[in-house]
């Protein structure tokens, strides 16, 4: 039995009326690679914040860090004992340089001290060397791509000589090669006795390098399992407490072509893209992040303009000067970034729903409250959105219900073509099936749907045809009924 | 040079604009590029720079302060009474008293912002009204001329008779300005506290999770601003030899314009001492040039406003976006 | 009670409570407070600040600020004064008042539009843009008037500034109409809807097909237009135009908006609570005035009052947390 790095016993935490954690236990061994799995809101983030001293647990908890019982954990205390977190939002400082971000630790403390830039650079260089990566230390962080910022966040954790690193959804924004590089780093850390805890609800890529997985559900501990023989399917069942069948929904679509893309090219984003999307079809578009999928979606939605090639809508060439023109022509786009682009979080569910169809609820130049209420009511019922009041802020809803509001907003525009860009990001496994049921029903009514996703399982299960995109080009087309997951993944990760 | 352009793009652009304006003015008016004019510019704008370097610290930490100019008036007024009460005083006492009074007023802002989670623009607009109203009420708007001699006597620290017989001189406020600039530069560039201020303004949640003391950050930012406000007020009275309760009313917005022109960002995380100086300099040089060219003083502000408007429009336009294919135009 | 609360919003009830408190307090201490004359004077003083506050309101809701409102009003007033003075001064015909007012409205809207265009198309911060516009307009005004007053207007302007219709002061009627138009604009028009959404998240609004640049331009144009209305009223009330007149009101308008529960970050704000906040401020000011204090003490009390209200809102936000926790 390895020595425990941390051991938490009967940890509870209440926020107002919500029991975020209900007497859970959690332990990680030294040098272990551990997974902490659970759906959004299961208490994963709460427990990290308790271990790192951001929150204090309710009375009765016992926290043991590296063999010592600690009465009150503060952020300083946790850091001093070698606990580091790489937050999902990275918690970096975009206006500061790479070196400052990595060696930020050296600038903490209430007593002012002189900043030694050479010493800071030295530490940053050392940390980056341990990761075997090379970054411009004087570049401002906001000039770097997201993946490199993630590297900076990891380097920052290494600077503090961490003995336990939490990684909160670390692979969410990484491409496959970047993920591989990250896993490589994790192996090196583990070999040196540093424990790593992956916190995620999408663990396929990290299951094989970790030894155990702890599953939380609704603030309670479900259990701790060896990863030997654990599958994504089994894990999903443990996380949701439900059993899912994966079936292939694909069928032959005979509808007329709605959207034809011919040789579409945009310098530096995608090249020579051609495909046809039929009425009633769900066309999957998969590939790694950076393959040009979302960029293509942006052009189709009129947010950017192609350099060459053309787009036909119902056989007629179209060229949108803005996304408003695209909406008017019947194209809708569900953004991958629901939090900051898909919805206006602090505003009401009703306002978010009617945002794209203001003309339709206006009579005599004024917005009609009756028409507005009727429209909102219709879509909430149609898409079975679970809400309190339509006047509640949309931020009060769960990820799945928020995505339904996004769908409602676009469906209200009565689109011909619906582009779904990673529609299940941040949506619980259990709620995903519900989203795809709606997608399927929409296709049945004749809507042409382009489903962009980097999850091969998702497109295989839900699309009628699948296009594989890499390096800005379409490399292949697959029929889900004749393709195995392994086959598609082999092509994607090739 | 390369890293200066990259890390201080606004400052670099501003410097270029300033050089162009100076070049144009020196060819348009022979009296522009003279030592006397240069020292006059410094003497007349030292107080604005002192306030600017105070304000930039608040902006870096993600706040804004509307109240500092009236706070400076309050400090001036209180100073007169404190000096009268202790029977005169001297420069050392003067700096300490003005600094401490200023810091106290700044800490009132910091306390309200931190304790009650009110954003700084609301708090400082409220304290602006409270400070100004109370000052005008208690002073009844009366001017004070009975300043101690050490305070009102002109202090020339360096002088030089030019060939034309005019004197170029550097007065006390310029030296105080240099010290204030240096101290602020040292604080924000070379102390851990200063870097924490940047980090806090840049990403408050990230700073909180890293364990930065938020209350301390607010106290330092607004305390520093308050100290500069107080010392700037002391210098202002030294120059004008009087205390006029409403003399500084409205200066806050001019200084704010200069600081933001100098690259500080409303919203935090960006700003530099050099930028403050250049921002104040751009406005001062423009006015000075117009004056030398014989433009009516009434037209000054108009041109200054127009200059700022054009400068911010230019500095916010991304010229690379005009040549490269348009990316996301919404 | 809860239905009433929902309909009016918590801030309205709170502000009405404050208003009642202020009225009772001054009613007891200042004998002339509860008189028709006093209410009349409040009614005549309120509209000037009120119109400027409306001009400030929409930019704040959209996540910005318009620091140029007072000088926009001055320049608009100057336009009217210039038209009247060049067409006979005190003898100018009524048609010249109409022409002058139209000119004032156009000038105000134009000043706003320039700001809106710069903000929308360069992405510059509204505080800075409007600050530059404020400095420019002040300079322009001082250049044109050489810092002096312009006066000598026809007599028919008097009723606009001082007259009564059915016992109600004309300026108050003007303000009520303006406030009503603003209320409808914000709650019932596509533009108002877009302005609110932009205030919360401009990029998400653009993704949803809202024409953000046009909306921003229109927001500041409308703000400028409302400034012009205030400017015309100021001409009528003071029978003179001086650049810088009303300068002290600039930050008071921001104060009134915050007091009326407008979110300083944008996205939330309603006309009704702001109007009540204005009444509270005027009542405070006139009550203090009757007790022998001057306008400066009122200014101080306004500032302290805003702090007090913000602190109370903080306290109110703490209570439910405690109870649940």
pLDDT: is A444 or C14 the higher one?
Answer: A444
The Cα A356–Cα A331 span in angstroms is 12
Asked whether residue A245 is domain-assigned, the answer is no
The Cα A341–Cα B284 span in angstroms is 42
Cα A24 to chain centroid distance, Å, stands at 26
Asked whether residue B320 is domain-assigned, the answer is no
Angle ∠(B152,B158,B161) on CA atoms, nearest 5 = 110
Reported confidence tier of residue B141, pLDDT bands at 50, 70, 90: confident
The verdict on A267 and A232 lying in the same domain is no
Six-digit token pair at C305? 């009052």
The Cα A290–Cα C200 span in angstroms is 29
**What is the least distance, in Å, from the CA of B264 to any CA of chain C?**
11
The Cα B167–Cα B162 span in angstroms is 6
* B309·C136 Cβ contact <8 A: yes
Asked whether residue C39 is domain-assigned, the answer is no
Q: Is C268 on the interface with A (CB under 8 A)?
A: yes
> What angle do the packed helices B120-139 and B68-85 form, to 10 degrees?
40
A475, A469 contact by CB (below 8 A): yes
Q: Give the count of beta carbons closer than 10 Å to the beta carbon of residue B167.
A: 13
Contacts of B206 in chain A (CB under 8 A): 87, 90-93
Final residue of a structural domain among A240, A273, A298: A240
C46, C278 contact by CB (below 8 A): yes
Please give the pLDDT value at position A262.
93
Best mutation site among A93, A98, A266 for testing chain B: the one with the most B CBs within 10 Å?
A93
Please give the pLDDT value at position A365.
85
Which residue range forms the structural domain that includes residue A361?
Answer: 257-492
pLDDT: is B254 or A428 the higher one?
Answer: B254
Chains in contact with A, where contact means 3 or more Cβ–Cβ distances below 8 Å, are: B, C
SS (H, E, C) chain A: CCCEEEEEEEEEEEECCEEEEEEEEEEEECCCEEEEECCCCCCHHHHHHHHCCCCCCCCCCEEEECCEECCCCCHHHHHHCCEEEECCCCCCCCCCEHHHHHCHHHHCCCCCCECCHHHHHHHHHHHHHHHCCCCCCCCEHHHCCHHHHHHHHHHHHHHCCCCEEEEECCCCCCCHHHHHHHHHHHHHHHHCCCEEEEEECCCHHHHCCCCEEEEEECCEEEEEEECCCCCHHHHHHHHHCCCCCCCCCCCCCCCCEEEEEEEEEECCCEEEEEEEEECCCEEEEECCCCCCHHHHHHHHCCCCCCCEEEEEECCEEECCCCHHHHHHHCEEEECCCHHHHHCCCCCEHHHHHHHHHHHHHEECCEECHHHHHHHHHHHHHHCCCCCCCCCCEHHHCCHHHHHHHHHHHHHCCCCCEEEEECCCCCCCHHHHHHHHHHHHHHHHCCCEEEEEECCHHHHHHHCCEEEEEECCEEEEEECHHHCCHHHHHHHHCC
Determine the average pLDDT of the residues in C131-155.
87
Contacts of B6 in chain A (CB under 8 A): 138-140
The verdict on A267 and A231 lying in the same domain is no
Mean pLDDT of chain C: 88
Six-digit token pair at C185? 């604009």
Determine the average pLDDT of the residues in C102-124.
93
H/E segment holding residue B292: helix B273-292
Final residue of a structural domain among A178, A212, A240: A240
Please give the pLDDT value at position A202.
63
Considering the entire predicted model, what is its pTM? Answer: 0.85
* B202·A85 Cβ contact <8 A: no
Please give the pLDDT value at position B272.
92
* B203·A92 Cβ contact <8 A: yes
The Cα A172–Cα A168 span in angstroms is 9
Asked whether residue C179 is domain-assigned, the answer is yes
Q: Is A79 on the interface with B (CB under 8 A)?
A: yes
Reported confidence tier of residue C176, pLDDT bands at 50, 70, 90: very high
**What is the least distance, in Å, from the CA of A37 to any CA of chain B?**
22
Q: Is A160 on the interface with B (CB under 8 A)?
A: no
Look at residues A483, A472, A479 and name the one whose alpha carbon lies nearest to residue A274.
A472
B29 DSSP 8-state letter: -
Name the residue among C193, C204, C209 with its Cβ closest to that of A343.
C204
The verdict on A189 and A297 lying in the same domain is no
Q: What are phi and psi of C225, to 5 degrees?
A: -60, -45
The Cα C285–Cα A380 span in angstroms is 49
Please give the pLDDT value at position C321.
53
H/E segment holding residue C240: strand C240-242
The Cα A331–Cα A312 span in angstroms is 12
* B191·A112 Cβ contact <8 A: yes
Q: Is C125 on the interface with A (CB under 8 A)?
A: no
**Cα→Cα distances A261→A311, A316, B1, C283, Å:** 5, 11, 47, 66
B55 three-state secondary structure: helix
Reported confidence tier of residue B36, pLDDT bands at 50, 70, 90: confident
Q: CB contacts < 8 Å between B and C, how many?
A: 161
Six-digit token pair at A123? 């530490």
> Which of 298-317 (C) contact B at CB < 8 A?
298-304, 306-307, 310-311, 314
The verdict on A232 and A273 lying in the same domain is no
Please give the pLDDT value at position A484.
81
* A346·C268 Cβ contact <8 A: yes
Name the residue among C147, C294, C310 with its Cβ closest to that of B116.
C310
Query: How would you classify the pairing of strands A62-65 and A4-15?
Result: antiparallel
Residue with token string 């530490």: A123
The verdict on A62 and A109 lying in the same domain is yes
Reported confidence tier of residue B328, pLDDT bands at 50, 70, 90: very low
pLDDT: is B261 or A312 the higher one?
Answer: A312
Q: Is A96 on the interface with B (CB under 8 A)?
A: yes
Share of chain B above pLDDT 90, in %: 45
Q: Is B306 on the interface with C (CB under 8 A)?
A: yes
The Cα A393–Cα B117 span in angstroms is 21
* A110·B202 Cβ contact <8 A: no
* C122·B317 Cβ contact <8 A: yes
* C136·B266 Cβ contact <8 A: no
C269, C263 contact by CB (below 8 A): yes
The Cα A393–Cα A363 span in angstroms is 26
Asked whether residue C188 is domain-assigned, the answer is yes
Asked whether residue A248 is domain-assigned, the answer is no
Please give the pLDDT value at position C5.
47
Query: Tens-digit pLDDT profile for chain A (494 aa)?
Result: 467 888 888 898 887 767 888 889 998 988 888 988 887 778 888 888 888 888 889 888 888 888 888 888 888 888 888 888 887 776 889 889 999 998 888 888 778 888 888 988 998 998 888 777 788 888 888 888 777 787 888 888 878 778 888 888 776 666 666 677 778 878 888 888 888 898 876 666 677 788 888 988 888 888 888 888 777 777 777 887 766 666 788 888 888 999 999 999 998 889 999 999 999 999 999 887 667 888 899 999 998 899 999 999 999 999 999 999 999 999 999 988 888 888 998 899 999 999 998 888 888 889 999 999 999 999 999 888 888 888 888 888 877 888 899 999 999 999 999 999 988 877 777 788 888 999 999 999 999 999 998 777 888 888 999 999 988 889 989 998 888 877 887 787 66
Asked whether residue C284 is domain-assigned, the answer is no
Six-digit token pair at A133? 């990566």
Q: What are phi and psi of C23, to 5 degrees?
A: -65, -45
A131, A151 contact by CB (below 8 A): yes
Q: Is A115 on the interface with B (CB under 8 A)?
A: yes
Look at residues B230, B199, B274 and name the one whose alpha carbon lies nearest to residue B9.
B274
B160 three-state secondary structure: strand
Q: Based on the structure, what is the number of domains in chain C?
A: 1
Query: Half-sphere exposure (CA, 13 Å, Cβ side) for B78?
Result: 21
A175, A290 contact by CB (below 8 A): yes
**What is the least distance, in Å, from the CA of C29 to any CA of chain A?**
43
**Cα→Cα distances B311→A68, A115, B67, C247, Å:** 59, 34, 26, 25
Residue B312 has pLDDT above 80, yes or no: no
**Cα→Cα distances A26→A2, A10, A57, A228, B319, Å:** 15, 9, 13, 19, 54
Asked whether residue A246 is domain-assigned, the answer is no
Q: Based on the structure, what is the number of domains in chain B?
A: 1
Look at residues A199, A135, A193 and name the one whose alpha carbon lies nearest to residue A161.
A193
Contacts of C138 in chain B (CB under 8 A): 301, 305
C165 three-state secondary structure: strand
> Which of 133-172 (B) contact C at CB < 8 A?
133-137, 141
Which residue range forms the structural domain that includes residue B245?
Answer: 34-315
Asked whether residue C195 is domain-assigned, the answer is yes
The Cα B32–Cα B293 span in angstroms is 9
Asked whether residue C181 is domain-assigned, the answer is yes
Final residue of a structural domain among A211, A240, A269: A240
Asked whether residue A251 is domain-assigned, the answer is no
Q: Which residues pair with A167 in a beta bridge?
A: A86, A198
Best mutation site among A95, A98, A114, A320 for testing chain B: the one with the most B CBs within 10 Å?
A95
* C258·B133 Cβ contact <8 A: no
Six-digit token pair at C56? 């400030």
Residue B4 has pLDDT above 80, yes or no: no
Q: Is C242 on the interface with B (CB under 8 A)?
A: no
**What is the least distance, in Å, from the CA of C93 to any CA of chain B?**
32
Q: CA Rg, chain A, in Å?
A: 24
**What is the least distance, in Å, from the CA of A301 to any CA of chain C?**
9
Residue with token string 């850091």: A79
* B198·A115 Cβ contact <8 A: no
Name the residue among A75, A140, A303 with its Cβ closest to that of B209.
A75
Q: Is B116 on the interface with C (CB under 8 A)?
A: yes
Query: What is the ipTM, given to two decimal places?
Result: 0.84
**What is the least distance, in Å, from the CA of B6 to any CA of chain A?**
8
Look at residues B90, B94, B81, B58 and name the one whose alpha carbon lies nearest to residue B135.
B81
Asked whether residue C218 is domain-assigned, the answer is yes
CATH code at A376?
A: 3.40.50.300
Chains in contact with C, where contact means 3 or more Cβ–Cβ distances below 8 Å, are: A, B
The verdict on A321 and A178 lying in the same domain is no
* A16·C324 Cβ contact <8 A: yes
Please give the pLDDT value at position C10.
66
Angle ∠(C176,C256,C241) on CA atoms, nearest 5 = 65
Best mutation site among A57, A355, A371 for testing chain C: the one with the most C CBs within 10 Å?
A355
Asked whether residue C14 is domain-assigned, the answer is no
**What is the least distance, in Å, from the CA of C37 to any CA of chain B?**
26
Best mutation site among C205, C208, C211 for testing chain A: the one with the most A CBs within 10 Å?
C208
Please give the pLDDT value at position A160.
75
Asked whether residue A331 is domain-assigned, the answer is yes
Determine the average pLDDT of the residues in C231-241.
90
Please give the pLDDT value at position A148.
79
Name the residue among C118, C254, C264 with its Cβ closest to that of B119.
C264
Close Cβ partners of A190 (under 8 Å, ≥ 6 residues apart): A31, A32, A33, A196
Q: Based on the structure, what is the number of domains in chain A?
A: 2
Determine the average pLDDT of the residues in B99-104.
96
Contacts of A91 in chain B (CB under 8 A): 203, 205-206, 209-210
C195, C266 contact by CB (below 8 A): no
Please give the pLDDT value at position A177.
66
What ranges in chain C are assigned the alpha helix state H? Answer: 2-8, 10-29, 36-61, 69-86, 94-122, 126-145, 158-162, 170-188, 190-200, 202-207, 212-238, 249-259, 271-290, 295-324
**Cα→Cα distances C10→B117, B123, C89, C320, Å:** 19, 22, 50, 14
The verdict on A85 and A195 lying in the same domain is yes
**What is the least distance, in Å, from the CA of A93 to any CA of chain B?**
6
């Amino acid at each position: 039995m390895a020595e425990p790095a941390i051991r938490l016993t009967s940890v509870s935490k209440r926020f107002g009326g919500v029991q975020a954690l209900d007497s859970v236990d959690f332990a990680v061994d030294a040098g272990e690679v551990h997974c902490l799995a659970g759906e959004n809101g299961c208490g994963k983030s709460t427990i990290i914040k308790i271990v790192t001293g951001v929150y204090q647990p309710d009375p009765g908890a016992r926290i043991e860090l590296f063999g010592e019982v600690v009465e009150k954990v503060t952020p300083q205390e946790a850091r001093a004992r070698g606990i580091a977190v790489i937050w999902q939002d990275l918690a970096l400082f975009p206006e500061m340089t790479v070196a400052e971000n990595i060696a930020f630790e050296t600038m903490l403390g209430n007593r002012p001290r002189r900043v030694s830039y050479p010493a800071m650079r030295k530490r940053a260089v050392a940390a980056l060397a341990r990761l075997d990566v090379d970054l411009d230390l004087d570049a401002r962080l906001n000039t770097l791509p997201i993946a490199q910022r993630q590297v900076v966040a990891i380097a920052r954790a290494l600077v503090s000589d961490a003995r336990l690193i939490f990684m909160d959804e670390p692979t969410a924004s990484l491409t496959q090669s970047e993920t591989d590089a990250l896993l490589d780093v994790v192996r090196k850390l583990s070999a040196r006795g540093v424990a790593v805890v992956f916190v995620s609800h999408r663990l396929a890529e990290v299951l094989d390098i970790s030894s155990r997985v702890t599953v939380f559900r609704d603030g309670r501990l479900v259990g701790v399992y060896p990863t030997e023989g654990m599958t994504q399917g089994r894990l999903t069942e443990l996380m949701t407490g439900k059993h899912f069948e994966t079936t292939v929904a694909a069928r032959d679509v005979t509808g007329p072509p709605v959207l034809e893309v011919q040789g579409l090219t945009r310098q530096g984003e995608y090249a020579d893209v051609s495909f046809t999307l039929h009425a009633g079809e769900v066309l999957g578009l998969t590939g790694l992040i950076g393959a040009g999928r979302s960029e293509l979606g942006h052009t189709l939605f009129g947010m950017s303009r192609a350099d060459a090639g053309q787009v036909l809508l119902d056989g007629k060439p179209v060229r949108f000067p803005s996304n408003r023109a695209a909406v008017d022509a019947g194209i809708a786009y569900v953004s991958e970034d629901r939090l900051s682009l898909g919805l206006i979080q602090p505003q009401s569910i009703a306002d978010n729903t009617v945002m794209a169809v203001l003309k339709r609820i206006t009579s005599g130049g004024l917005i009609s409250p009756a028409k507005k209420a009727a429209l909102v009511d219709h879509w909430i019922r149609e898409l079975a959105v679970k809400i309190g009041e339509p006047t509640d802020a949309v931020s009060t809803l769960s990820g799945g219900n928020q995505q339904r509001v996004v769908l409602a907003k676009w469906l209200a525009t009565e689109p011909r073509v619906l582009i779904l860009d990673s529609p299940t990001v941040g949506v619980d496994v259990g709620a995903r099936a519900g989203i795809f049921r709606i997608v399927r029903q929409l296709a049945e009514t004749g809507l042409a749907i382009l489903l962009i996703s980097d999850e091969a399982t998702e497109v295989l299960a839900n699309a009628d045809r699948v296009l594989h995109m890499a390096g800005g080009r379409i490399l292949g087309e697959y029929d889900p009924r004749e393709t195995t997951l392994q086959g598609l993944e082999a092509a994607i990760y090739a | 040079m390369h890293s200066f352009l990259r890390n201080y793009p606004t400052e670099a652009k501003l410097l270029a604009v300033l050089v162009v304006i100076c070049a144009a003015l020196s060819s348009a008016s022979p009296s522009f590029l003279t030592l006397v004019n240069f020292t006059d510019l410094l003497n007349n704008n030292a107080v604005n720079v002192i306030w600017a370097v105070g304000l930039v610290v608040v902006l870096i930490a993600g706040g804004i302060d509307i109240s500092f100019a009236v706070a400076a008036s309050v400090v001036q007024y209180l100073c007169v009474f404190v000096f009268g009460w202790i029977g005169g005083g001297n420069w050392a006492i003067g700096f300490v008293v003005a600094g401490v009074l200023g810091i106290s007023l700044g800490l009132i802002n910091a306390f309200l912002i931190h304790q009650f989670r009110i954003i700084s623009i609301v708090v400082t607009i409220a304290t602006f009204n409270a400070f100004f109203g109370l000052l005008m009420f208690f002073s009844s708007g009366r001017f004070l001329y009975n300043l101690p001699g050490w305070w009102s006597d002109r202090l020339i620290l360096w002088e030089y008779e030019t060939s034309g017989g005019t004197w170029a001189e550097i007065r006390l406020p310029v030296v105080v300005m240099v010290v204030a600039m240096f101290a602020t530069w040292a604080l924000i560039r070379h102390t851990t506290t200063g870097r924490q201020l940047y980090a806090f303004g840049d990403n408050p949640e990230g700073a909180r999770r890293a364990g930065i003391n938020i209350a301390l950050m607010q106290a330092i930012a607004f305390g520093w601003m308050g100290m500069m406000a107080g010392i700037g007020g002391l210098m202002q009275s030294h120059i004008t030899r009087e205390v006029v309760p409403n003399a500084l009313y409205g200066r806050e917005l001019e200084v704010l314009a200069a600081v933001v022109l100098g690259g500080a960002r409303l919203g935090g995380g960006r700003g530099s001492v050099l930028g403050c100086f250049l921002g104040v300099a751009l406005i001062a040089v423009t006015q000075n040039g117009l004056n030398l060219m014989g433009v009516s003083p009434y037209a000054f502000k108009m041109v200054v406003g127009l200059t700022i408007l054009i400068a911010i429009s230019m500095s916010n336009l991304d010229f690379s976006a005009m040549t490269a294919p348009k990316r996301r135009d919404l | 009670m809860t239905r009433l609360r929902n309909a009016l919003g918590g801030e309205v009830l709170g502000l009405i409570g404050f208003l009642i408190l202020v009225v009772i307090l001054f009613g007891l201490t200042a004998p002339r407070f509860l008189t028709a004359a006093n209410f009349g004077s409040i009614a005549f003083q309120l509209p000037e600040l009120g119109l400027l506050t409306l001009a400030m309101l929409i930019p704040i809701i959209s996540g910005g600020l318009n620091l140029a409102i007072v000088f926009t009003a001055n320049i608009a007033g100057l336009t009217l004064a210039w038209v009247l003075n060049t067409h006979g001064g005190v003898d100018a015909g009524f048609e010249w008042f109409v022409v002058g007012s139209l000119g004032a409205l156009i000038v105000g809207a134009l000043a706003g539009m320039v700001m809106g265009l710069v903000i929308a198309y360069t992405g510059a911060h509204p505080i800075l843009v409007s600050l530059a516009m404020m400095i420019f307009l002040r300079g322009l005004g001082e250049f044109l008037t050489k810092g002096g007053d312009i006066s000598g207007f026809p007599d028919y302007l008097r009723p606009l500034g001082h007259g009564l219709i059915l016992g109600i002061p004309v300026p108050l009627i003007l303000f009520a109409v303006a406030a009503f138009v603003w209320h409808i604009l914000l709650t019932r028009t596509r533009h108002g809807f877009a302005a609110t959404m932009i205030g919360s998240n401009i990029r998400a609004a653009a993704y949803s097909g809202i024409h953000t640049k046009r909306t921003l331009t229109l927001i500041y144009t409308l703000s400028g237009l409302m400034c012009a209305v205030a400017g015309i009223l100021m001409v009528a009330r003071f029978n003179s135009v001086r650049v810088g007149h009303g300068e002290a009101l600039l930050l008071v308008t921001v104060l009134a908006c915050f007091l009326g529960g407008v979110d300083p970050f944008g996205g939330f704000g309603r006309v009704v609570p702001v109007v009540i906040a204005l009444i509270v401020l005027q009542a405070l000011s006139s009550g203090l005035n009757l007790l022998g204090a001057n306008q400066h003490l009122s200014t101080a009390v306004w500032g302290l009052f805003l702090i007090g209200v913000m602190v109370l809102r903080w306290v109110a936000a703490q209570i439910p947390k405690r109870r649940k926790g």
